[in-house]
Structure 1
Amino acid sequence: MKITITGSLGNISKPLAQQLISNGHQVTIISSNADKTNAIEQLGAKAAIGSINDTDFLTRTFKGSDAVYTMVPPSFSAADYRGYIKSIGENYAKAIVAADVKKVVNLSSIGAHLNGGTGPIAGLHDVEQIFNTLDGVAIKHLRPAYFYINLFSNIDMIKHAGILGSNYGPQIQQVLVHPNDIAAAAAEEIQQNFNGKSIRYIASDERKAGEITAVLGKAIGKPELPWVEFSDEQAYEGMIQAGLPAEIAKNFTEMGVATRSGKLYEDYFLNQPVLSKTKLEDFAGDFALAYQASQHQ
């Protein structure tokens, strides 16, 4: 198969490309960074260098593909984060139609069943809705859980405040996933037949916030590490102080509210998947290595 992958050499796109190439497929990887060309070619893929804001470029690159993997990269400079995500979805949709692509695996998110109140995930809801209007295109929306690797962003909190926390309490259920497990699911879907518009949830582990803190604390030699629940205002101000733009801090605070209420996970638990292989304890080793490396910075 000829397969085009968006997302450059990101945490999902790179292992996805490696799996597909190892299975004998012809893979093209889209990147906006020409400096990635050599690394992409070393994987055995073709590099397509251009902007996902350029629908003509996307159309040319998608043309002839048996399947396309789409994802919207984060942009912390966006003045309207939901609008930014939606606009990239619109670009992809126009190119999919113009290039006559018949099969798409789209990276969405847990919580994308909700039209708002979920921070950045609301934009992925919009992308799903846009893609679902495409006649004659088989679409598989992947809805992964919260990425383990996002926990790396909490290392400074642990170092400087001696806590982990957010605007929800330690008893709040979390659903977690490793990017490699998402890549494996994406590769599986791309290589099999499916029709119509459908959804697949992907998760590696399900743990309460306090349990996550205990496991990570033990891994870094801080078994008494506490989870602290912030108010929404404290969470927002903490992100601003950490250097996040106001629009991003607002979106992430809203996502925390959706987590606290439980609505973020409602549809997930109605369609609960078989958990993937990478458990929290497996990731804790990587977290400990990152934490130790940060101690020397």
Structure 2
Amino acid sequence: MKITISGSLGNIGKPLTTKLVASGHDVTVITSNNDRVEAIEALGAKAAVGSVGDAAFLKNAFTNADAVFAMTPPNMGGSNVIDNTTEAGKAFAAAIKEAGVKRAVMLSSIGADLSGGNGPIAGLYNIEKIYETLENVSLTFLRAGFFFTNLYNDVPMIKGAGIIGSNYSAATTIPFVHPVDIADAVAEELQKTPSGKDIRYIISDVRTSSDVAKVLGLAIDKPELPWIEFTDEQALGGMKEAGLPIEIAELYAEMGSGLRSGKIQEHFLNSKTAVDGKIKLEDFAKEFAAKF
């Protein structure tokens, strides 16, 4: 198969490219960075350099592709994030339509069933709705859990204050996912030929915030590491102090509030969908400790 994927050689793109090339597919990797071309070619793939916001570029990259993996970058710009993300989705959709792509997999998220109250995920809700209008395309919305790798953002807090936390409680249940499990699911879906449009959740583990503090704490020799629940104001202030643009910080604080209320994870938890990722919290904790 000829397959075009977005995401460059990131946490998902690199293992996905490696897996697809090993399976004998003709893979083109979209990247915005010329410096990545050599590394992409070293994996046995072709590079297409351009912007995912450029529908003409995407159409060219998608032409003759049997399948496409569409992944919009998180937090496109420091302002107008939802609008920018939505516009990128429109560019993807236009390119898929004009290039005549018949099979596409879109990386979405838990909480993408909600139009608001979910922070940056609102952009993915918009994109799902745009993609739903595409005709003659077999499309899977791959809704991923909260990335384990996002927990690396808490390293400064752990080192500086000896705590880990957010604006949701230690009892909050979070569906997590590892990028490698996402890559495996994407590869599997790209090689399928289902009809119509469907939703698949990809989740590696479902754990409480208390579990996160305990398991990570044990892995880094801080067995008493506590999970601290912040107010929305405290969380917002901490992210601003860490240097996040105010709009990004506000979106993350809103996402934390959505997790606290349970709304973001509600659809997945109620769907009784199997947890089919292989990498559990304890596995990720070893990676976390190695980088800590």
Instruction: Give the TM-score range, shorter chain.
Output: over 0.9
**Matches of 1:133 and 1:270, distance apart in 2:** 26
**Matches of 2:178 and 2:54, distance apart in 1:** 30
| Comparing 118-127 and 78-87, the one that deviates more | 78-87
**Matches of 1:280 and 1:149, distance apart in 2:** 11
**Matches of 1:205 and 1:177, distance apart in 2:** 7
**Matches of 1:27 and 1:165, distance apart in 2:** 40
Residue 28 of structure 1 aligns with an amino acid whose one-letter code is T
1:58-77 equivalences in 2 (<5 Å): 58-75=58-75, 77=77
**Matches of 1:159 and 1:27, distance apart in 2:** 41
Q: After TM superposition, give the deviation of residue 76 of structure 1 in Å.
A: 5.7
Residue 44 of structure 2 is aligned to residue 44 of structure 1? yes
1:18-33 equivalences in 2 (<5 Å): 18-33=18-33
**Matches of 1:23 and 1:275, distance apart in 2:** 21
**Matches of 1:53 and 1:187, distance apart in 2:** 24
| Comparing 68-77 and 8-17, the one that deviates more | 68-77
Aligned residue in 2 for 1:275: 276
Aligned residue in 1 for 2:289: 288
* TM-score, normalising length: structure 2: 0.98
1:234-249 equivalences in 2 (<5 Å): 234-249=234-249
Residue 20 of structure 1 aligns with an amino acid whose one-letter code is L
1:161-196 CA distance string (max 9 Å, x none): 110010011011111111000100110011111111
1:185-216 CA distance string (max 9 Å, x none): 11001111111110000111111101110000
Residue 57 of structure 1 aligns with an amino acid whose one-letter code is F
Aligned residue in 2 for 1:207: 207
Aligned residue in 2 for 1:118: 118
Q: After TM superposition, give the deviation of residue 275 of structure 1 in Å.
A: 3.1
Residue 229 of structure 2 aligns with an amino acid whose one-letter code is E
Residue 145 of structure 2 is aligned to residue 150 of structure 1? no
Unaligned runs of 5+ in 2: none
- For residues 172 and 75 of structure 1, do their structure 2 counterparts lie closer, same or farther at Cα, with a shift above 3 Å needed? closer
* TM-score, normalising length: structure 1: 0.96
**Matches of 1:69 and 1:138, distance apart in 2:** 12
**Matches of 1:59 and 1:165, distance apart in 2:** 43
Q: Is the 8 A contact 1:77 1:245 kept in 2?
A: no
**Matches of 2:5 and 2:76, distance apart in 1:** 22
Unaligned runs of 5+ in 1: 292-297
**Matches of 2:80 and 2:274, distance apart in 1:** 32
Q: Is the 8 A contact 1:173 1:209 kept in 2?
A: yes
Residue 283 of structure 1 aligns with an amino acid whose one-letter code is F
**Matches of 1:195 and 1:234, distance apart in 2:** 47
Aligned residue in 2 for 1:258: 258
1:229-284 CA distance string (max 9 Å, x none): 10000000000000000000000000001000001111101222233110100010
Q: After TM superposition, give the deviation of residue 74 of structure 1 in Å.
A: 2.1
Aligned residue in 2 for 1:294: none
Aligned residue in 1 for 2:53: 53
Residue 43 of structure 1 aligns with an amino acid whose one-letter code is L
Aligned residue in 1 for 2:159: 159
**Matches of 2:61 and 2:224, distance apart in 1:** 52
Aligned-residue CA RMSD in angstroms? 0.9
Q: Is the 8 A contact 2:76 2:84 kept in 1?
A: no
**Matches of 2:104 and 2:245, distance apart in 1:** 32
Aligned residue in 1 for 2:91: 91
- Residue 228 of structure 2 aligns to a residue whose secondary structure is strand
Number of residue equivalences: 291
Aligned residue in 2 for 1:223: 223
Q: After TM superposition, give the deviation of residue 77 of structure 1 in Å.
A: 2.8
Q: Is the 8 A contact 2:75 2:248 kept in 1?
A: no
Q: After TM superposition, give the deviation of residue 51 of structure 1 in Å.
A: 1.2
Q: Is the 8 A contact 1:76 1:245 kept in 2?
A: no
Q: Is the 8 A contact 1:173 1:207 kept in 2?
A: yes
| Comparing 270-279 and 127-136, the one that deviates more | 270-279
Q: Is the 8 A contact 1:76 1:248 kept in 2?
A: no
Aligned residue in 2 for 1:103: 103
| Comparing 147-156 and 48-57, the one that deviates more | 48-57
Q: After TM superposition, give the deviation of residue 30 of structure 1 in Å.
A: 0.5
Residue identity over aligned pairs, in percent, reads: 52
Aligned residue in 2 for 1:295: none
- Residue 108 of structure 1 aligns to a residue whose secondary structure is strand
Residue 161 of structure 1 aligns with an amino acid whose one-letter code is A
- Residue 74 of structure 2 aligns to a residue whose secondary structure is coil
